[in-house]
Amino acid sequence: MASPLHFVFKSRRRLRVALTIVIVIVVSIALDQIVIPWIVHSRGTITMPSVVGMPQEQAVALLQQRGLRIQDIQQQFDSSQPAGRIILQSPYAGATIRQGRRVYLVVSRGYEVVRVPSLYGMPLRQAQLELLRAGLQLGRVQTVACDSMSNSGQVVAQIPAATVAVRTGTTVELTICHDSTSTTIVPNLIYRSRNDAESMLLQANLQLGEVIMQYDETFAPGTVLRQEPAPGSRVPTQTVVRLWVASNL
């Protein structure tokens, strides 16, 4: 049988545990409601400077002088800024922030360079797809008479040449050979939609070449404004037709 003294010690232990729990709770509440907010709000506020366009080292030095912390720096290809310059920042310039705030930056890797694919021997449509896959654009397309019937409708020359390193978005000019023994009349595509114009060219045994987007407030976007060769021209079949199309941009 336990002695009365045993019960006294046991009660005191329980009391100490209860008091410890109460103290921990009180301290936690004080930290959360008083101490931490006081620390946070005791930091001064500043206006986030603009570092877009600055060299990376200069931008980092400026931000650190303002009491900010560089949390992360990413890199990506960008044509708007030379390699090594800031292209994006978070927080944004002009934001009111507290000193010690984390800052995220994105640095330009400069222009992305790709190799021009070899398009020799491809039909125009396939050549267009290859250019798109490579991040390039179809430029001016001209036609020449074929030396051989087997080459009709195929690419026989390109500028820039295959394997040349160029910036993404560069236009590539093509030369397509055609059978000069067979001719057709170029239909009138003016004021037609681009889709209708492409269908009419296909029916006339012609090919759609470069499409130049031209800002125009009069006609609906996608309307053909001009064409080359002119309507009514007699040309060899598979001749490439160039279009100027209305755009609202």
The residue among 8 and 96 whose pLDDT is bigger is 96
pTM value > 0.75: no
CA atoms within a 13 Å half-sphere pointing along the CA-CB vector of 82: 3
How many residues can be counted in the chain? 249
- By the 8 A CB rule, do 122 and 152 touch? no
Average pLDDT over residues 198-218: 92
> Does 45-108 match 113-247 in CATH topology?
yes
DSSP H helices in 107-234: 124-133, 194-203
Q: Is the pLDDT of residue 149 over 70?
A: no
Q: What is the CATH number of domain 45-108?
A: 3.30.10.20
Domain 113-247 -> CATH class:
alpha beta
Q: Where are the beta strands (DSSP E) in 125-229?
A: 137-145, 155-159, 165-167, 171-178, 183-185, 207-215, 224-228
**pLDDT per residue over 8-52, tens digit each?**
455 666 667 667 776 767 666 665 666 555 554 556 788 999 999
Per domain, the residue ranges of the chain are: 45-108, 113-247
Give the span between the Cα atoms of 110 and 65, in whole angstroms: 27
Residue 84 has φ and ψ, to the nearest 5°, of 90, 0
